[in-house]
Structure 1
Amino acid sequence: MTRTLLSALALSTALAAPAGALDLSKMTTEEKAAFGEAVKDYLMQNPEVLVEAINVLEERQQAAAVENDKTLVDTNAKDIFEDGFSWVGGNPEGDVTIVEFMDYKCTYCKKAFPEVEDLLKKDGNIRLIVKEFPILSQQSELGARFAVATKQVAGDAAYKTVHDALIGMRGDISLEGLKRLAEDNKFDADAIIKKMNTEEVTAVLRANHQLAERMNISGTPTFIIGNEMLRGYAPEEAMAKIVAEQRG
């Protein structure tokens, strides 16, 4: 019997054996060395086995991550979907909810924005919740505080106006620019600016950061679609597919 065949038999026996059936502790030093060499020889001559094993491992890890995310969503469902302070858009009575953790200085949040808007328009039965999650810079924090303050002072429609303006903004976010944005839209700029650094606004951002920490969210955009998490940007078609899967 050739050495290659012996190696293959040794490896296949090791892989196919039930847990505990191959007890290396009962092997002599020489037997362990021979077994190790046999496995090494087989893998060197059949490297595709390693690729297959790595692919299987990655698939199992991805499946485990998806299940873990679903558990996180279920555990934190009330704070995700019914926090009482986040802006709700789309169809408030929609049968599927998309939640977005976003940052106004996030390039991929800006890229995702028109695609999410288009998906909501085409579908007509999706509820959207926006979670202000400023993590990238002081300008991110400034924009988020302004948006939350606008909602608290002037209501949901005003929030949507400034949210759309901020997500479409390409330059720096400054206090002067934010005040001008409020004035241009006939909002009470002084009241909004005054509100920005209050505990009421801080509490919203704190709650969002605490929720993100519990959900292991560290980047933007992060979407929750039904009970599935999408960590990062995805094109509209991919999001639509997840929505359809959530509907069963």
Structure 2
Amino acid sequence: MMNRRTLLVAAGSALVLPSFARAEDISPQAVFHDPDAPALGNPDGDVTLVEYFDYQCPFCKSNHPVVEKVMKEDGNLRVVMKDWPIFGPPSVYASQLVLGAQSFGGYEKGLEALMATKGKLSNELIDDTLSAGGVDPKKAQAGYKADQKKIDALLSRNYGQAVGIGLQGTPAYIIGRDIYPGAVDEQTLKDAIALARGA
């Protein structure tokens, strides 16, 4: 079982993965600086927080405002969002559409709209929620199809990294070299950022 804080495996370390999992690059560079993974906050921030999440995960959704608050108050924090759709087909569909919305600047609107939902999602509810949040789902779907190879590869990398690091579910946060599984409160996030900043 994973401890509350576990050192992130450095590049070149040996990995023993389940037979179904692809050995993904889990070096700090790959995890913190994937060029295709959306980043929020300060793009030049001195600390990066990586979040593995699913749009159907109730803890991801309830903890999202906490992460946002800390990010805005800090001003020097970069937040990398790693879609890890593990709650079934609607989760995959949601990730595809919101990542597809990046092509026309709709990523943050889509993220905020779906993170504000309650309970399980259906494709119809995802479309309706995105529409209400100012993101045209048909345009997002077209954006996904245009960049399907890149987006599918990103989702595959995110999955491989999550398994390789040993994450047990969503949400999971990586700050500095430490992993914080599950929902975390504001003070824990601030302390983790301060620790990473001090290092």
Q: Is the 8 A contact 1:154 1:187 kept in 2?
A: no
Say which SS state the counterpart of residue 6 (structure 2) adopts. helix
Mean Cα displacement is larger for which, 198-207 or 101-110? 198-207
1:24-173 to 2 correspondence within 5 Å? 66-67=6-7, 69-71=8-10, 76-151=27-102, 153-155=103-105, 158-173=106-121
Segments of structure 2 that go 5 or more residues without pairing to the other structure are 14-25
State the shift of 1:66 in Å: 2.7
Segments of structure 1 that go 5 or more residues without pairing to the other structure are 1-60
State the shift of 1:135 in Å: 0.4
Say which SS state the counterpart of residue 166 (structure 2) adopts. coil
> What's the counterpart of residue 182 of structure 2?
232
Deviation string, structure 1 residues 192-244 (Cα, Å, up to 9, x no partner): 22444633332221111111122112300010101211111110111111111
Structure 2 CA distance for aligned equivalents of residues 135 and 192 of structure 1: 21
> What's the counterpart of residue 18 of structure 2?
none
Deviation string, structure 1 residues 22-73 (Cα, Å, up to 9, x no partner): xxxxxxxxxxxxxxxxxxxxxxxxxxxxxxxxxxxxxxx959x734x35479
What is the one-letter code of the residue matched to 2:194? A
Structure 2 CA distance for aligned equivalents of residues 71 and 94 of structure 1: 21
What TM-score do the two structures reach when normalised by structure 1? Answer: 0.66
Q: Please provide the CA RMSD for this pair.
A: 2.6
State the shift of 1:182 in Å: 4.7
Larger Rg: 1
- Identify, as 1 or 2, the structure richer in helix: 1
Higher relative contact order (CA 8 A, sep 6+): 2
| Stretches of 4+ aligned residues off by more than 4 angstroms | 72-75, 181-188
> What's the counterpart of residue 208 of structure 1?
158
